[in-house]
Chains A and B, each alone.
Chain A
């Protein structure tokens, strides 16, 4: 008990001493760190979001620029070994168009006569860096000729650059949507859990009703309600709002159950008996106790938002060209011909998969770490 000796000899004991004064967030971090996959996924997510943030800088080509002479061109391989032997500087071959003598189909093959070296910080299409200042420097690219690391689409636009640009829209629509549904979820779920009784019953029945509505027809109906003459930005905002109207139910249930559970906790009653105000009890005792759970479930609900955008846009109900998002890009890959002849158009799908998986793993890790006090 209180008479224990204060002598600390081994490092293990000193570490234990540090844990004694470790806050909730520190304990969570220690627990999260042990979840390997989650940590790796967190790094992946940081990369994905940086790609979205610095899209103009990272994209070698203007994503809207048409190249009539190279439509449906295959990816250009980055090479180190050419006909002249090994080169330390990576390079790409230009395209040479060939016409199949039987089918008369035009296709592009690498042309070893055109060697274009890749360079860092090359000049390309002009843009505003982070919206602050004008520049035309890009991280990498070629100075002459073309560089399409993931090929081109039916208008000869660079698929890689389009994926990079699409990352911004597709990942942020998830965040904005989740933020809106978080707001709705906390307010409605909080009411439901804190007041209980008839309010709770009504809210829960409403949630059950919303959850029983098949999502795709609902999306279709709601997005049909968006006026056709809206600008792409307005449509984008409209879609996020639509997605969050459906997404809040899960969060509301989490918040409600936390409120119900915490209302009965002894330390909440203790605060009450000490004369703490209602606001103090909610914000000093209850909210910190479930904030970590909320963060974990928010992380787990972002993927469904991203998937929602992708599916809506794929069906032609969500974002439309000229906005670039992964869903819009995947519209190009809607037929079997694509898979057979131009498989590189499916590349945005891999970005979706990687991002969703990363979010799920991070969410798992956070959920496991969310309550460091489980006994």
Chain B
């Protein structure tokens, strides 16, 4: 898929200080996100996968400036040139927020239980200057219809809705300001499998209709495979592999991706059963291993892996496929078809 680049992340870092003692001295840093770079093109969905704690949520929040990144740049390519989101201040940041929204993981805590659906979905409109109540209500109705909630229910409180319905309300709120870029942070992970499919289809419909661009954060590869155009795999704060979805699934170039793919359950009679079981623990992001972060668990690791950190670089013969492994072009790794 080709297209104009909408979002460009360069060298994004987020370190959380570890404090201790009475005076809260900083004794170290959790490197939640450690030098992450990627681009997202207009209208595509980039899947961001990795284990819990690998920093994928932090990436999403840094892009949206829910938290301030320690270092790095995030460029938003608007029609009239690139805007560095990390450098925005109060008013310009508020204006930028119209363009970027977040859909949360937990449909229960993401809606204020003390507000009606009308107030929840109408709040972004109110904040951004739609003062007329009638106008706001009309828009709220339209949004609710768009996500498949009966507009008559807008006087209800969130407790009246099921998880899937709440997630739809959260989507309506995110769409209220007509954003062009949406971060879906584990948006379907908290839902039943049957509801997951409905929400994923809704997200795809909306993407087509409203020309949205998604950063889709998930730990479930089958969900990511369904919705993403491209996939980035994260491990302990770094991206280890990026590629088109089909390419990544069929032809992984990083041993960690191979292990992740092997863990996806497949309903197939011919599937061979020799899974790759990763040994050891995910390293502590406050104290990651030298060299390649994955080397203590990698069965292909050699000396160089312990010493030198592999850069994310193009795999020969494919400009859209990059992996951070010293042996990316030598290893023949097993994917799924």
Report which A residues bind B (CB closer than 8 A). 1-2, 6, 19-24, 27, 197-198, 201, 265-267, 269-277, 280, 285, 288-289, 373, 375
Q: Is the CB of A275 within 8 A of B157?
A: no
B106 adjacent to A266 (CB under 8 Å): yes
Q: Are B128 and A373 in contact, with the CB atoms below 8 A?
A: no
Establish whether residues B157 and A20, one from each chain, have CB atoms under 8 Å apart when the complex forms: yes
Output the nearest chain A residue to B109 by Cβ-Cβ distance: A266
Q: Are A270 and B157 in contact (CB under 8 A)?
A: no
A6 to B151, CA, bound (A): 13
- Interchain CA distance A23-B157 in the complex, whole Å: 7
Is there contact, CB below 8 Å, between A21 and B109?
Answer: no
User: Inter-chain contact count A-B, CB under 8 Å?
Assistant: 87
Contact A267 B127 (CB under 8 A): no
**Closest residue on chain A to residue B103 by CB atoms:** A270
Give every chain A residue within 8 A of B111 (Cβ-Cβ). 267
Q: How far is it, in angstroms, between the C-alpha of A267 and the C-alpha of B103 when the chains are bound?
A: 11
Nearest Cβ on chain B to A51's Cβ, whole angstroms: 36
Task: List the B side residues contacting A288 at CB < 8 Å.
Answer: 114
Contact of A375 among B93, B100, B108 (CB under 8 A): B108
In the complex, what residues of A have CB within 8 A of residue B149's CB? Answer: 2
A201 vs B23: C-alpha distance in the bound complex, in angstroms?
8
The residues of A that contact B150 with a CB separation of less than 8 Å are: 2
Q: Which one, A21, A23, A27, A270, contacts B102 given CB within 8 A?
A: A270
Q: Are B24 and A198 in contact (CB under 8 A)?
A: yes
Chain B residues, CB < 8 A from A267: 109-112
Task: With both chains docked as a complex, state the minimum distance between the C-beta of B234 and any C-beta of chain A, in angstroms.
Answer: 21
B1 at the interface (CB under 8 A from A): no
A1→B164 contact, CB < 8 A: yes
Complex alpha-carbon distance, A23 and B119, angstroms: 12
Known: A2-B150, A285-B112. A373 touches B24 (CB 8 A): no
B104 within 8 A of A: yes
B100-128 with Cβ < 8 A to chain A: 100-102, 104-106, 108-114, 116, 123-124, 127-128
Highest count of chain A CB atoms <10 Å: which of B114, B148, B157, B173: B114
User: Which 10 A/B pairs are nearest by Cβ-Cβ distance?
Assistant: A20-B160, A266-B110, A275-B94, A275-B97, A267-B112, A20-B156, A266-B109, A274-B124, A373-B113, A2-B148
CB distance from B186 to the nearest CB of A (A): 12
Residues of B within 8 A of A275 (CB): 93-94, 97-98, 124, 127-128
CA distance A164 to B87 in the complex (A): 67
